[in-house]
Amino acid sequence: MEKQYLYNGFSGCVTQWKSRETKTQVGLYHGVQSGMECDPETKWCVVCEEHHTLVGHPTLALARLTRSPLEFCDDCREKHDASHQEHTR
């Protein structure tokens, strides 16, 4: 029987954290348990909770390596880049 994940009251959620770079909430989920439509080959999903953008991984270990939404969320990257440009002026 597969382990059931439930973190912060979210079914399928393994853990959540706040990104240091973007200050947005990020979650790590077992896609099937959370009800996400995901490829069975990439059942572990890292989600930018603010923009509902996700990236799938075939193993939990690989998913845990994705720490920042800048790696997969276009909205976070655009916001971060715009903020960075403001600070360099």
Place of tokens 């923009």: 51
1: in domain: no
Mean pLDDT split into 10-residue runs, the chain, 89 residues: 93 97 96 88 95 96 96 95 71
Distance CA 87, CA 13 (A): 35
> Which residue in the block uniquely carries the two structure tokens 């976070």?
76
How many domains, in total, are found in the chain? Answer: 1
Give a yes or no: residue 80 inside a domain. Answer: yes
Beta bridge partners of 56: 45
Q: Which domain holds residue 72?
A: 6-87
Check residue 77 and give its pLDDT: 95
pLDDT value of position 68: 95
Beta partners for 6? 11
In this prediction, residue 89 carries a pLDDT of 57
In a domain, 16, yes or no: yes
Asked whether residue 60 is domain-assigned, the answer is: yes
Whether 59 maps to a domain, the answer reads yes
Distances (CA, A) of 24 to 33, 75, 84: 23, 11, 16
Q: Looking at the domain assignment, is residue 17 inside a domain?
A: yes
